[in-house]
């Protein structure tokens, strides 16, 4: 599949243009299936990052630029951490609850 980037959900077969998403991406359907709190955290962090990026473009003062870069770094790390949580949520092996799962946990 050249030129296409697959969704990070292994159960999903959707792809996107590799020019727009060169590394990883999550399709809208899988993103909407995530827990609401996880989606809100990710969207909030992106909004904050973009807000500070706009401020960076407008300012010319070196001291303010240092502050803006540090704040953008903080939000970038938050986005990365939330992305890891999203990937962990999508790739977690869910075992059905029941007698078989219980016996497997007990080692029987």
What is d(CA 95, CA 10) in angstroms, rounded to the nearest whole number? 16
> For 80-91, what is each residue's pLDDT tens digit?
999 999 999 998
pTM of the model: 0.77
What are the distances in angstroms from CA 32 to CA 3, 26, 75? 25, 10, 22
What is the average pLDDT across 13-32? Answer: 93
């Amino acid at each position: 599949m050249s030129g296409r980037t697959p969704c990070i959900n292994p159960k999903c077969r959707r792809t996107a243009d590799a020019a727009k998403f060169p590394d990883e991406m999550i399709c809208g359907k899988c993103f909407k299936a995530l827990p609401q709190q996880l989606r809100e955290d990710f969207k909030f962090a992106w909004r904050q990052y973009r807000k500070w990026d706009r401020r960076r473009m407008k300012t010319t003062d070196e001291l303010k630029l240092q502050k803006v870069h540090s704040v953008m770094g903080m939000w970038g790390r938050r986005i990365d951490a939330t992305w890891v949580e999203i990937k962990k949520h999508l790739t977690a092996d869910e075992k059905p609850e029941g007698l078989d799962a219980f016996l497997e946990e007990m080692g029987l």
